[in-house]
Amino acid sequence: MSDTDSFIDEVTEEVKRDRLFKALKRYGWIGVVIVLGIVGGTAYREYQISAAETQAQAFGDSILSALQAEDSAARIAALEGIEPSQPGADAILGLLIAADAGGEGDDALAVERLQALANNAELPQIYRQIASYKALSRGTEVLDADARRAGFEALAVPGQPLRLLAEEQLALIDIETGNVDAALSRLQALVADSEVTAGLRRRASQLIVALGGELDQA
């Protein structure tokens, strides 16, 4: 019985191997296609990453080269000649051009360009907010205090990335309009905020002292 069982087991194993080989002949190409797909997909992804890095480096080099021009007009012309190659690149160029436009005292032109970026619904929200913040900051001689206050209040909404910087500017507007108590209250809240950066806390603390206020020593 033992020899018979052993023979049956051998035959069974042989049948299994035969079926496996037949299955591989019939369906083995599917596994090959899957492997090739994985390898090809990985290679294409690496190519895309490399291409994106190359584009980003070329874009950065173009900006650095443009900013080396001696006068504002030449820098702006060079920046305007750069072709945006990635999402958000046009916003970065716009911010640089707007900043340079006011570099020679033309704040009105700088504010106009920055506001145009801030109102461009096709740009990512963060770039629009940065443009709005810079326009309001540069607009001291162009926009009245009420207009700047309204703009900064929109940026100071909880959850917004520029909230604390906008709060600092609102405190400065309070000082500008003679409302020192409101400025002190806003600055003290800013110093106590858990998200405030070291630099912003230092600036706010210095303003509090300059205005005759007291710092919380806790």
76 domain-assigned: no
Q: So what's the pLDDT on residue 6? A: 61
In our burial notation (b when 16+ CB lie closer than 10 A, e otherwise), range 89-128 reads bbbbbbbbbbebbbeeeebeebbbbbbebbeeeebeeebb
The answer on 119 and 32 residing in a single domain is no
| Residue 79 within a domain | no
pLDDT for res 51: 65
Q: Are residues 108 and 190 in the same domain?
A: yes
Residues 104 and 199 in one domain: yes
| Residue 83 within any structural domain of the chain | no
84 phi/psi in degrees, rounded to 5: -60, 130
What was the pLDDT predicted at 127?
A: 87
Per the structure, how many domains does the chain have?
A: 2
Angstrom distance (rounded) from CA 124 to CA 141: 28
* Calpha distance 78→75 (Å, rounded): 5
Task: Single out the residue in 68, 102, 119 at which a domain terminates.
Answer: 68
Of 37, 68, 99, which residue constitutes the final position of a domain? 68
Does 112 share its domain with 202? yes
* 47, 110: one domain: no
* pLDDT tens for each residue of the chain, 218 residues long: 455 556 455 556 665 666 666 665 665 556 566 666 777 777 767 766 666 677 777 777 777 777 777 777 787 788 778 777 766 777 778 777 777 765 556 778 888 888 888 888 888 888 889 989 988 988 888 899 999 999 999 999 999 999 999 999 999 999 999 999 999 999 999 999 999 999 999 999 999 999 988 876 55
Range of the domain at 42: 1-68
Give a yes or no: residue 35 inside a domain.
yes
What is the per-residue pLDDT for 1?
A: 46
User: Between 72-80 and 89-101, two packed helices, what is the crossing angle to 10 degrees?
Assistant: 160
CB under 8 A, 24+ apart: contacts of 161-167 = 161/126, 161/129, 162/129, 162/130, 162/133, 164/190, 164/193, 164/195, 164/196, 164/197, 164/200, 165/133, 165/200, 166/133
pLDDT for 170 equals 96
Residue 119 CA to residue 116 CA, distance in Å, equals 5
Do 107 and 14 share a structural domain? no
Long-range contacts of 201-210 (CB under 8 A, 24+ apart): 203/168, 204/168, 204/171, 207/171, 207/175, 207/183, 208/184
Residue 62 shares a structural domain with residue 108: no
* 77 found inside a domain: no
101 shares its domain with 185: yes
Write down the pLDDT at residue 187.
94
pTM for this prediction: 0.65
Please indicate, yes or no, if residue 15 is contained in any of the structural domains. Answer: yes
The pLDDT of residue 16 is: 64
Same domain, 99 and 25: no
List alpha helices for the chain, DSSP H: 2-67, 72-80, 89-101, 107-118, 125-138, 145-155, 163-176, 180-192, 198-210
Whether 99 and 8 map to the same domain: the answer is no
